């Protein structure tokens, strides 16, 4: 029995499903999870000593690669001064100033501990600010696991939310309306039906939880227009896209303004951090400045802040990182797409900046319904092939690949070559 198998067996006795987050389970690809012992640069090493080129990057935060020396040093220095004070620190002011001075439409920002918390709090703020209850989300977009957002609304665009998870009372999702990603008319219909009741539209500006689905031209602009017209707030959930598409995230990349923005993962450089921010008049609603209550014992933790601050400073001081990363990613995903297109089934890659997803369908993937046409059995087969070759991709069809500055053209080229051999053999 391998060490990972042994650990998984023990884990299953004491942790639900043996993992602390469902996406870490390898069930859908017919494997057991590998337990990771260490990570460095573009690589992770499992408990049995097998090394993988890691294209998950802790689901986004490791844009500079694992164990970056400057970030590690900053964390060690912070640890030497104590792990948590439950009181205000200079680092919190510095990271907030950095974000507010460089990202458009962010006049104030509040640190939290996860993306889930950031989104949940942004929604509460939007409701407090507008005095309205309903929110619009898109099918296939994930915004963390808070009750009101666990809605896929498989029963159709117009229906009020039906909870996706056991344990979510129907009352918690009754104000969650679902629309179709990349389909403005589905949003317009909801606004026409509830012109005075919608507090906010929340969107992943690039949907990265149904694979990778970039917004169609005009979609985000259209959301902006509709929100302004009906007095609702536009929330960009940039937990994936923030500081990844570029320093100004999706707002900068697409040139569309949001009223509130949520962040996670990447702003903590791998430490448990999230944040939400927006214009001062909106964020002034948040306690203790205003009546919208939100709090956190460990929010703005001094060690986590130093990790995040160091990563954000490096990214800000070196804009070439994004240019090089996005160009490298473009070449890699184009190569992977060419490899996939050797398959008779017409498999293909969706990609934008350093995010990409290989879909096992011939249909263009533009929304939740088309993403679901992907053949998950064919994905599982591909996963087992490429994983065995030492490439760690997410063990699920509907997750993104995240490239980092630490990946080299050579390594990525080898992966594309392995893909070419695999898909060529399917022909
Ligand atoms: C777009 C988006 N929003 C929110 C979340 C929730 O973040 P967390 O897992 O840190 O709670 C995620 C997690 O992947 C995400 O991708």
Q: Is 207 exposed, middle or buried (0-12, 13-18, 19+ CB in 10 A)?
A: buried
Query: Please, are residues 202 and 235 in contact by the beta-carbon 8 Å criterion?
Result: yes
The one catalytic residue in 134, 183, 259, 265 is: 265
Write out residues with Cβ below 6 Å of ligand 1: 59, 114-116, 119, 142-144, 204, 209, 237, 239-240, 264-265, 274
Whether 229 sits among the annotated catalytic residues: the reply is no
Handedness of CA 402, 405, 409, 410 (dihedral sign): negative
DSSP state for residue 310 in the 8-state scheme: H
Whether 237 sits among the annotated catalytic residues: the reply is yes
Query: Please, are residues 426 and 342 in contact by the beta-carbon 8 Å criterion?
Result: yes
pLDDT at 301 over 60: yes
- How, if at all, do strands 233-237 and 260-264 pair? parallel
Closest-CA residue, ligand 1 atom 13, reads 144
Q: What is the rounded average pLDDT of the residues 38-47?
A: 98
pLDDT tens-digit profile of 324-352? 999 999 999 999 999 999 999 999 999 99
Element holding 328 (H helix, E strand): helix 320-340
Give 338 Cα–ligand 1 centroid separation in angstroms.
Answer: 30
Of residues 70, 74, 34, 32, the one with CA closest to residue 54: 34
pLDDT tens-digit profile of 23-33? 899 998 999 99
pTM above 0.85, yes or no: yes
* C-alpha–C-alpha distance, residues 127 and 262, integer Å: 15
Closest-CA residue, ligand 1 atom 8, reads 115
The one catalytic residue in 46, 175, 237, 337 is: 237
Tokens of 90: 């200079």
Handedness of CA 308, 312, 318, 321 (dihedral sign): positive
Q: What is the rounded average pLDDT of the residues 289-307?
A: 98
Q: What is the dihedral angle through the alpha carbons of 50, 54, 144, 164, rounded to the nearest 10 degrees? A: -70
pLDDT tens-digit profile of 366-418? 999 999 999 999 999 999 999 999 999 999 999 999 999 999 999 999 999 99
């Amino acid at each position: 029995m391998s060490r990972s198998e042994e650990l998984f067996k023990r884990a299953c006795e004491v942790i639900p499903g043996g993992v602390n987050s469902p996406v870490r389970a390898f069930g859908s690809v017919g494997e057991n999870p590998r337990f990771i012992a260490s990570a460095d640069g573009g690589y992770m090493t499992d408990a049995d000593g097998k090394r993988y080129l890691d294209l998950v990057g802790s689901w986004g935060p490791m844009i500079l690669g694992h164990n970056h020396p400057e970030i590690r040093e900053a964390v060690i220095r912070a640890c030497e001064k104590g792990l948590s004070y439950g009181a205000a620190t200079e680092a919190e002011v510095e990271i907030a100033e950095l974000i507010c001075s460089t990202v458009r439409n962010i006049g104030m920002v509040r640190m939290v501990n996860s993306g889930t918390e950031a989104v949940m709090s942004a929604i509460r703020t939007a409701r407090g600010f507008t005095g309205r209850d309903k929110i619009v989300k898109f099918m296939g977009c994930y915004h963390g696991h808070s009750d009101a957002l666990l809605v896929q609304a498989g029963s159709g665009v117009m229906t009020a939310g039906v909870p996706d998870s056991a344990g979510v009372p129907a009352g918690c999702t009754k104000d969650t309306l679902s629309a179709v990603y990349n389909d403005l008319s589905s949003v317009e219909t909801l606004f026409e039906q509830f012109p005075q009741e919608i507090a906010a539209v929340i969107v992943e500006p690039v949907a990265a939880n149904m694979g990778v689905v970039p917004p169609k031209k005009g979609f985000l602009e259209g959301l902006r227009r509709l929100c302004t017209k009906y007095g609702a707030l536009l929330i960009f959930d940039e937990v994936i896209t923030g500081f990844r598409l570029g320093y100004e995230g999706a707002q900068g990349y697409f040139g569309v303004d949001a009223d509130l923005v949520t962040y996670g993962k990447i702003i903590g450089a791998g430490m448990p951090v999230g944040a939400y921010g927006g214009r001062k008049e909106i964020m002034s609603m948040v306690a203790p400045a205003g009546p919208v209550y939100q709090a956190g014992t460990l929010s703005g933790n001094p060690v986590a802040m130093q990790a995040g601050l160091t990563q954000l400073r490096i990214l800000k001081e070196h804009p070439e990182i994004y240019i090089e990363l996005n160009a490298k990613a473009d070449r890699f995903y184009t190569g992977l797409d060419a490899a996939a297109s050797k398959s008779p089934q017409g498999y293909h890659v969706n990609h934008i900046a350093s995010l990409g997803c290989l879909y096992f369908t011939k249909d263009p993937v533009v929304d939740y319904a088309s993403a679901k046409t992907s053949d998950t059995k064919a994905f599982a087969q591909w996963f087992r092939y490429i994983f065995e070759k030492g490439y760690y991709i997410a063990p699920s069809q509907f997750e993104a690949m995240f490239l980092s500055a630490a990946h080299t053209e050579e390594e990525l080229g080898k992966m594309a070559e392995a893909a070419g051999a695999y898909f060529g053999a399917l022909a």
